[in-house]
Amino acid sequence: MKPLLLAIKLTLIIAMLGACTEQKPSTGLYMLLDTSGTYTKELKKAQQIIHYYLGTLGPGDSFAVARIDSGSFSEKDIVAKVTFDHRPSRANEQKRQFANTISQFIDSVKSSAYTDINGGLLLASEYLNETQANKKVVMVFSDMQEELPVGYKRDFNLALTNYEVIALNVTKLRSDNKDPKMYMERMSKWQQRVEESGGKWRVVNDLEREGSLAL
Partner 1 sequence: MSIANFIPGQPILSWILAIICGMLILYFIRPSVHQLLDNLTTLIVQNLRLLSRSLSVSAKHMSERNKEVLLEHGKQQAERELERQFIRLGKLVEKDLSRYPTVQRDIEQNISAMEDKLTQTAVVPAPLPEWTEAVESISKLKDTTKNDAVVGKLLQAIYEAFHTQQKEVMDTYKKDISKRHNLLKSAMNHWRHLLEKLGNVESHWQHLNDQAKKIDLQVERFDNMVKATDKAERLLKSSNSTQFFISLVVMAIAGFGAFVNYNLIALPMSELMPATSQVAGYNVADIGAAVIIMLELTVGLFFMEAIGITRLFPVIHFMEDRKRMIWACVCMVFLLALCCVEAGLAYMRETMVADKALLTSFLVAGAESTQGSQIESSNIPMIGQMTLGFVLPLILMFVAIPFESFIHTGRHALGTVIIQLFILSSTLFRSVSLFLKQFTASLKNIYDIFCFAPLWLEQLIEQRPTSSKKNKLEPSNKEPKKLNQEVDEIATPELESNIDHDSDSSISTPIKQGA
| Cβ–Cβ < 8 Å for 73, 120 | yes
Cα-based angle 66, 54, 202 (whole degrees, multiple of 5): 65
Q: How far is the CB of 88 from partner 1 (least distance, A)?
A: 6
Question: Which uninterrupted H or E stretch holds 192?
Answer: helix 180-196
Report if residue 107 touches partner 1, rule: CB under 8 A.
Answer: no
| Cβ–Cβ < 8 Å for 67, 81 | no
Report if residue 136 touches partner 1, rule: CB under 8 A.
Answer: no
In the complex with partner 1, the residue whose CB is nearer, 54 or 194, is 54
Residues 44-83 that bind partner 1 (CB under 8 A): 51-52, 54-55, 58-60
**Residue ranges with strand state E in 120-190:** 135-141, 163-168
Per CB under 8 A, the segment of 36-44, 93-101, 127-135, 182-190 that binds partner 1 is: 93-101
> Which of residues 13, 14, 15, 24 is near partner 1 by CB under 8 A?
24
Provide the pairing of β-strand 62-68 with 78-83: antiparallel
Per CB under 8 A, the segment of 7-15, 37-45, 91-99, 173-181 that binds partner 1 is: 91-99
Report if residue 198 touches partner 1, rule: CB under 8 A.
Answer: no
End-to-end CA distance of the chain: 55
Report if residue 108 touches partner 1, rule: CB under 8 A.
Answer: no
| Cβ–Cβ < 8 Å for 203, 166 | yes
Which DSSP symbol is given to 142? Answer: S
> Which of residues 1, 4, 5, 20 is near partner 1 by CB under 8 A?
20
| Cβ–Cβ < 8 Å for 138, 30 | yes
> Which of residues 89, 150, 151, 206 is near partner 1 by CB under 8 A?
89
Residue numbers at the binding site for partner 1 (CB under 8 A): 17, 20-24, 26, 51-52, 54-55, 58-60, 86-89, 92, 95-96, 99
